[in-house]
Structure 1
Amino acid sequence: MGSEYIPPIRLAILEADTPVPGIQSKFGSYGGVFEYLFARGCKSFKPPVPLSAVLKLSYHDVVHDPTSYPDLNTIDAILISGSKHNAFDQDPWILELVKYTRKCLDSGRVRVIGVCFGHQIVGLAMGTPVGTNLRGWELSVVEHNLTEEGKKFFGLEKLSIHQMHRDIVHKLPPGVIALASTDICPVQAMYAPRRLITVQGHPEFTKDMVGEILQRRYDGGILSPDIYKDGMRRVGNEHDGVAVARAFIRFLRE
């Protein structure tokens, strides 16, 4: 991280959903989930650094409170969370989120992190098609193929993180670098230095979080028995969420 003093990055977490009950009872909102991720990321640096020295976090419920968007002059970056909603739906709050994301990207200063639904929102803001994946669901811990640039960015030869999606970014937008792919989803991570980083997966998710989501979606008839069983079989596999958190922080410090 270096010894010189750098003021904390002002990161606004745009919450695009309300967590399932088990996650909500422990972390409150998705802002709390990402705070937990970034705290572990900071702890994993050598030497460890306190979260408060690296990031100044704020949470913004963009689904229920359209007035919660922060003024761009008061932040350095945004992180758009995952969501059960479709990024390509025409709900007013989703259209406003795409518009705000485009405003951040066009600012030349406010950096953008997108996770799952947020990854897709960034794709839409950059004019690339987003829609349902005909290959179906991608769930639980999945191993990714990294490009050479992806290996450098994440500091890994292979990347495994949780997935929970059926929608995808169909094409890489112009001016961004591909970092990762899977057989089911070719556009897994997009990067533009000092501008944006997005991942289709969920570095913030843990075994317990994904297990609860899988159970609820199976009970609700959203997942078939075979897909549910396959997801539960891999839900406890080791994953690189903390490594992704470190990479996010390095991106914010570029």
Structure 2
Amino acid sequence: MPSLPLRIAILECGTTPPNAARKYGSYGGVFASLLRSGADALSYPNLSSSSGLSISTFDVVKNLSYPSIPDIDAILLTASAPNAFDNDPWILKLVAFVKEILEQRRVRIVAACFGHQIVGRALGAKVGRSYKGWEIGVTPIDLTKRGQEIFGQSTLALHQIHGDVVYDYPPGVEELAYTDACPVQSMYIPKRVMTVQGHPEFTEEIMRELLDRAYATGFFDKRLFEESMAKVDKYQDGVVVAQAFLRFLLEE
């Protein structure tokens, strides 16, 4: 088990919309808030929102900045608007860095949405457009038996906003969760990797802002916008996922 403080480097793969940015700062601030809420809910010795976590952020898009591997215990990959299967230089550099982490055994990986897809790509899975279209809003997620053990409950519900998916589980990766629209919802390798396709870090407020912007710019049509908005106020398990991430990172 890593000694406390748990040193988590958040790799910022995207940006937050303006209102969320004013509240949380960069995307790392959104995830830092989630992790601190998870720490308070976990009841782990000497770990709370105010102690036991050392969170740093790195802009991997514009600054191409990365942590020194000996200085961290884990990396967290955020979501992003671009496609994880694109070959922009910053995306290729990110995939290469994840592969470097995967080649060693100490530093662990957690990720969400775009980050989940980047990890899938680094593990050799195909990533691309979903054949079933968008998955948006708070979505019920089925858990496998292993997933129920990891998350500590029978099902999950998370904010979703994605049209891309990891098509198949890479060799050696355990399946934790699935939906009809996205069979690869959560990947797990003990003591190495844990990812989710959903957005545990999002709040109703953030989702409303994202959907408003998507509709205003014509990215979503009226039907998709209204259907998505109807689901943003549903209960979601973001803190449950944060607790599971932290348990995974602290496991001996």
Q: With structure 1 as the length reference, what TM-score do the two structures score?
A: 0.95
Task: Tell me if the contact between 1:138 and 1:166 (Cα under 8 Å) persists in the aligned partners.
Answer: yes
- The Cα shift of 1:52 comes to 4.3
Which of residues 167, 172, 180 in structure 2 aligns to 1:170? Answer: 167
Q: Any idea what the Cα deviations from partners look like across 1:150-183, whole Å, max 9, x if unmatched?
A: 0000001110010010000001001110000001
Q: Evaluate the alpha carbon distance shift between residue 60 and residue 5 of structure 1 in structure 2; reply closer, same or farther with a 3 A threshold.
A: closer
1:248 equivalent in alignment to 2:252: no
* Structure 1 residues not aligned, in runs of 5+: none
The answer on 1:8 being equivalent to 2:2 is no
Q: Which residue of 2 is the match for residue 199 of structure 1?
A: 196
Which amino acid is the alignment partner of residue 163 of structure 1? Q
1:1-254 → structure 2 map (5 Å cutoff): 6-46=3-43, 49-66=47-64, 68-254=65-251
* Cα deviation 1:68-114 (Å, max 9, x = unaligned): 20111111110000000100111000000000001011111110111
Cα distance, 1:51 vs structure 2: 2.7
Q: Compute the RMSD of aligned alpha carbons.
A: 1.5
Deviation (angstroms), 1:53:
3.0
Looking at structure 2, the residues matched to 251 and 183 of structure 1 have their Cα atoms a distance apart, in angstroms, of: 26
5+ residue gaps, structure 2, are none
Q: CA deviation at 1:119?
A: 0.2
Identity among equivalent positions (%) equals: 48
TM-superposition CA deviations, 1:112-155 (whole Å, max 9, x none): 11110000000110111000102111111000010000000000
Q: Is the 8 A contact 2:166 2:184 kept in 1?
A: yes
Alpha-carbon distance between aligned partners in 2 of 1:83 and 1:239, rounded to the nearest angstrom: 20
The one-letter amino acid of 2:242's match is A
Paired amino acid for 2:182: C
Deviation >3 Å, runs of 4+: 46-49
Quick one: distance in 1 between partners of 2:217 and 2:172? 40
Shift of 1:8: 1.4
CA contact (8 A) 1:8 1:52 kept: no
Superposed displacement of residue 47, structure 1: 7.2
